[in-house]
Amino acid sequence: MRGRLLIFGGGGFVGGNLATVAVGQGWEVHVADQTLRREIPGASWQAVNVTRAAEVRRLVAELEPAVAIYLAAVADIDRAEREQELAWAVNVEGARTAASACAELGAACLYMSSDAVFAGTAELYGEDDPPGPVNFYGQTKAEGEKAVRAAHPRASVVRISLALGFPVTAGNSFLAALEAKLRQGGEIVCPADELRTPIDVLTLSSCLLELAEKDFAGIVHLGSTDSIDRLALTRRAAALMGYPQARIAAQPAGPDPGGRAPRHKRGVISVAKARGLLSTPLLTAEQSIRRAIEERL
């Protein structure tokens, strides 16, 4: 047994995959989520509302985890823009409470953040580059990072650009949504000017679990060793799922469609620090897309 692992938001897309991989590695896994979407064999479920500080503190005190990973988030960028009070409560205040409870217990704490903390105008972003988010989701992640590190000085902050894979429980998955649209037929429109540094959810899970066992404090970026634009990524994913790439069209130039929050254009993050820190190999964008599709849990 590698230790007791508490995953806040463990019922979501990344959390469900992480919990499954962790069980396979021999961790004692506790999934903390407000709603049990689907049972994960080998993991226990703990009901918690992360916006209620007393519930979070009580759970950490009762379980006494070796490590807590905070994945709970309002991660839909447009929803975060519409429901700002909820996004702040989950992405900032819930994370602050979890980190504080872990610090008091002496447990390790990892916080999942995003390249959305950056403006997306630079060629490449390193861990020390200043945040400059262009939407409210990015603001909550930037503030969440500061809140977690203030509450728990030994906490780890992990920034990713785009996680690729399919849910084993439920959650917001780009590939699952794409697959559903492809099955429905018709044309799919994607921006060609949004660059990302994707990572498949299995590689991400392995990296997070490796970090959980290290005495690492600070910020680290996880992603592919190169970048890819949204249009090329979507076409490649469609082809690997057996659909014609011709069905994926470039979004016309001009303002974003109405009702859509602003997006950062260049989500290109440096993974040099992670490659020196971790033994888990980071993949190219092509390898990440392929693994996400071909090795889904």
pLDDT in tens, 71-86: 999 999 999 999 999 9
Q: C-alpha dihedral over 72, 216, 152, 169, to 10 degrees?
A: 10
CA distances to 155, 187, 191 from 151, rounded to whole Å, are 9, 47, 38
Please name every residue paired with 199 in a beta bridge, in sequence order, or none if there are none: 163
* Residue type, position 75, single letter: A
Instruction: Give the 3-state secondary structure percentages of the chain, helix then strand then coil, rounded to 5.
Output: 40, 20, 40
Q: Examine the pLDDT at 155 and tell me if it is beyond 70.
A: yes
State the average pLDDT over residues 178-206. 95
Amino acid 287: pLDDT: 98
Q: Residue 242, Cβ neighbours under 10 Å: how many?
A: 9
pLDDT bracket for residue 251 (50, 70, 90): confident
Supply the pTM of this predicted model: 0.96
Run of H or E including 103: helix 95-105
pLDDT bracket for residue 2 (50, 70, 90): confident
Burial of 153 (0-12, 13-18, 19+ CB in 10 A): exposed
DSSP 230: H
* Residue type, position 114, single letter: S
* Residue 251 token pair: 């979004």
State the average pLDDT over residues 148-164. 98
Please name every residue paired with 32 in a beta bridge, in sequence order, or none if there are none: 8, 46
What domains can you pick out in the chain, each with its CATH number?
Answer: 4-167+199-224+269-283 (3.40.50.720)
Q: Examine the pLDDT at 52 and tell me if it is beyond 70.
A: yes
9's CB contacts (< 8 A; 6+ apart) are 15, 32, 33, 50, 70, 71, 72, 73
* 85-103 pLDDT tens trace: 999 999 999 999 999 999 9
